[in-house]
Amino acid sequence: MLDIRFHGHSSVQVTSKGHSIMIDPFISGSPVAATKLEDFSVQYILLTHGHLDHILDAVELAKKNDATIVATHELATYLSWQGVKTISMNLGGSIKLPFGKVKMTQAFHSSGVVLDDEKQIVYMGMPGGFVIELGGKTIYHAGDTGLFGDMKLIGERHDIDLAFLPIGDVFTMGPEDALVAAEWVQADFVVPIHYDTFPPIKQDGEAFVAELAEKDIRGKALKPGETLRLP
């Protein structure tokens, strides 16, 4: 059994049998987050890429919980210099962890930390997504990405129970492409992410879920703080 809690934007917490992992923690700077950092208890933090709206709270959350951050080599190295435990990996690789298995998939996006004061951008490795095996279930978090053909391979090679797909457009797929991605990934259940956080990515999550239903795909637009249970 899995308990999935959506925290807004792309932040997802997955819990099963005492194991709790967080994907892309963006809480303190999020205008839609319904929880506070002190409310979290996690052992692992998975980061899809190095943009601030995906890593903002990773270091603080890791230090508070003595948690380990999993990310691409460049991003993991950068965060390790801030005094947290990290595990480096890269696209196509997989690692076994106490809760199960994590595989990093490709994503088509960018990845870097913008240092405004220095007017510099620090490269943080390739962006990615994750296929996570936990509690007898398989979850696909696509990260920030546009539509790409190898999503078909992800669906063919993994029996995905739940997929988190971005629908915000502008910086990622919009709803139209995300519908295609949902078909290709072949997940039993789809939850839209990376929308409604800021004006440029305003979308109608309920309309997207209704369009999923027309394709016989189950889904739900979770509100920040809402929990979904997979038996």
Give tens-digit pLDDT for 202-221: 999 999 999 999 999 999 99
10 Å CB burial of residue 138 (0-12, 13-18, 19+) is buried
Phi-psi category of 223—alpha, beta or left, where left has phi over 0 and alpha has psi -120 to 50? beta
Q: What percent of the chain has pLDDT over 70?
A: 100
Determine the pLDDT at residue 180.
98
Is the per-residue pLDDT at 231 higher than 90? no
Give the Cα separation of 156 and 148 in Å (integer).
14
Write down the mean pLDDT value for the chain. Answer: 97
Grade residue 153 by pLDDT with cuts at 50, 70 and 90: very high
Grade residue 5 by pLDDT with cuts at 50, 70 and 90: very high
CA angle 76, 131, 174 (to 5 degrees): 95
- Average pLDDT rounded to a whole number, residues 45-57: 98
Grade residue 1 by pLDDT with cuts at 50, 70 and 90: confident
Give the Cα separation of 173 and 166 in Å (integer).
6
User: What's 213's DSSP letter?
Assistant: H
DSSP 113-159: EEETTTTEEEE----EEEEEEETTEEEEE--S----TTHHHHHHHS-
Block residue for tokens 């993991």: 76
Look at residues 218, 21, 11, 5 and name the one whose alpha carbon lies nearest to residue 134: 21
Determine the pLDDT at residue 124.
97
Determine the pLDDT at residue 121.
95
Q: What pTM was estimated for this model as a whole?
A: 0.97
Please give the single-letter amino acid code of residue 226: E
**Each residue of 60-75: pLDDT tens digit?**
999 999 999 999 999 9
Determine the pLDDT at residue 188.
97
Within a 10 A sphere around the Cβ of 87, how many other Cβ atoms? Answer: 16
Q: Measure Cα distances from 213 to 84, 97, 182, 188, 189 in Å.
A: 42, 35, 11, 12, 10
- Average pLDDT rounded to a whole number, residues 119-144: 97
Domains defined for the chain, CATH in brackets: 2-220 (3.60.15.10)
